């Protein structure tokens, strides 16, 4: 009985670490124009799992499903804007690298500019203050100058 348990345990362990690979069928395009449109569109979309990779570059399973869905919608005759709208409805504005300006995304568009302006103002203030302090209290000459 002890040998049977070891054998079953080793089989279960081997099955648990066996690499599971999803072999997705390759995407089939009707012509090179459709393929170019597909690649351009998926490069503009973000993988919802990887977050910093485009849909075209991601190897995640959800990215494979999303690419297949994009191709299916293209083959149904939908335009790029309709496909984007479908994906936004399903996954939210995050799926777009360039989300539309709306009350919900205004911070995404304004915060980088505001941070840049604040940083420039801070740098200008620090430089002006140092120049003012140097004008009031000049540095004594160093011993190397004599």
Model confidence pLDDT, tens digit, residues 68-110: 999 999 999 999 999 999 999 998 888 888 877 778 778 777 8
Same domain, 41 and 88: yes
Q: Where are the alpha helices (DSSP H) in the chain?
A: 2-17, 32-44, 61-75, 80-91, 106-136
Same domain, 84 and 110: no
Domain membership of residue 20 (yes or no) is: no
Of 11-15, 74-78, 113-117, 123-127, the range with the lowest mean pLDDT is 11-15
Provide the domain limits for residue 129. 101-137
Same domain, 90 and 47: yes
Burial 88-117 (b: 16+ CB within 10 A, else e): beebeeebbeebeeeeeeeeeeeeeeeeee
Mean pLDDT of 30-38: 91
Distances (CA, A) of 17 to 3, 12, 76: 21, 9, 40
Domain membership of residue 15 (yes or no) is: no
Domain membership of residue 9 (yes or no) is: no
Alpha-carbon distance 14 to 142, whole Å?
Answer: 75
Domain membership of residue 4 (yes or no) is: no
Counting the structural domains of the chain, the total is: 2
Domain membership of residue 129 (yes or no) is: yes
- Predicted pLDDT of residue 119: 96
Mean pLDDT of 6-30: 63
């Amino acid at each position: 009985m002890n040998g049977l348990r070891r054998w079953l345990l080793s089989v279960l362990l081997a099955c648990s670490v066996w690499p599971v690979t999803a072999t997705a069928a390759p995407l089939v395009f009707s012509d090179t124009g459709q393929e170019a449109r597909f690649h351009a569109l998926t490069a503009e979309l973000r993988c919802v799992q990887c977050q910093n990779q485009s849909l075209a570059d991601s190897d995640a399973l959800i990215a494979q499903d999303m690419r297949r869905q994009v191709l299916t919608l293209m083959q149904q005759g939908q335009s790029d804007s309709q496909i984007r709208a479908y994906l936004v409805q399903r996954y939210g504005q995050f799926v777009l690298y360039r989300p539309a300006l709306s009350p919900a995304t205004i911070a995404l568009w304004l915060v980088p500019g505001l941070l840049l302006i604040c940083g420039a103002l801070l740098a200008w203030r620090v430089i002006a203050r140092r120049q003012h302090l140097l004008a009031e209290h000049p540095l004594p000459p160093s011993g190397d100058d004599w």
